Structures are given as C-alpha cells and as structure tokens.
A = this chain, B = another copy of it.
Amino acid sequence: MPKILKQKSIFKSKLFDIKQADIEFNGITMKYEIISGTGSGAVMVVPFIENDIIFIKEYAAAIDDYMITFPKGKIDKGETIEEAANRELQEEVGYKSKEIKLIKKLYLAPGYIDHMTYVMVAKELSVSSLRGDEPEELEVIRVHRDDVINFLDKNEIIDSRVHAALNIIENHE
C-alpha cells in the first residue's frame, strides 16, 4: 500500500478543498493534487413510476448548457441519505417515495476527487412538493423503461452518473 508522506490544503472555498499530497510507492515519491468536497457527499435518486423512469433536464453551470440527469443534491447536515433523497425528490420533481433504498455508493473519479454519490431507487411515489433552491423550474421527463436507450441517444449532454446508475440498476433489479 502506498504511504501518504504529507498532505496539505492549498485552497479552500465554500464547496471545495484542494489538497496537495506527497505519496510514496516503494521508494518513489509522487506529487498529487486532490479535490475534496466540503460536505457529506450527495444523493442521486432514480424515481420509478410503474415501468417509467423520471429524468430531469437541468442547467449545468460548469458547461453552461442543459444536461439530462436525475434528481440529486448534497446531503444536508443531520440528514440520513433516505431523508436527503426524499427531500430532493420533492424539491426537483414533486413526488415523495414510500420505498426508497440505496443501490450503491458511487466513487466519481477517485484518482483525483473524493466526491461520493449515493445512488438510490425510489418507488411507491405520491405527489408532494417542497420548495428547493433551484433558480428555475426543472423540466421533468418521464420515459418508459424500454425507451431509455433511445432517449439517452437523442440527448448529447448526460450526467455520467445517469449511465452509471442505470448500469447498476439494470444489473440488480
């Protein structure tokens, strides 16, 4: 196992903490830059209504364009992942779930970012809204399970975690 010789924060903002680390592998020392989140990770919720899956279309600031994604957001202090998932679901698509469960912890790109996303599946939905911090109403798109491949092919910009979540779900449901 490599050994972290030293690690220090070189930048901190509201969302990110950039660290520099010296890591030793059998006598060779390498320098790394690492992005740490400042919170407890995020949830991403895949909502099912019978055989339909609910997607959202949301503005993605880093690429200044709209992306296809699932309801998701940071876990607030003191929240369980189930509570965070049910809150995001109500804020972003206007449903709550009576059957919400963790499918897998997703490590975004662990070589350089420690961001963790908890992929949840939500079923048994009923109409319920909460006011979130979204600056505009999100477009909610309901797609039959059999049409998902076509739907994703027709959209150029898709959050990579949508593909990852679908891969995990397809292999476990």
Contacts and interface: CB of A to CB of B under 8 A. Distances in A.
B158 A161 contact: no
Given A2-B135, A4-B64, A167-B164, A110 B33 contact: no
Contact of A32 (B23, B61, B114, B158): B61
What DSSP secondary structure best describes chain A's contact surface?
strand
Interface size class of A (residues with CB under 8 A): 35 or more
A159 interface: yes
Copies in the complex: 2
A125 interface: no
Contacts of A33: 13-16
Contact of A109 (B149, B159, B167): B159
Interface in A141-173: 149, 152, 157-161, 163-168, 170-171
Contacts of A36: 62
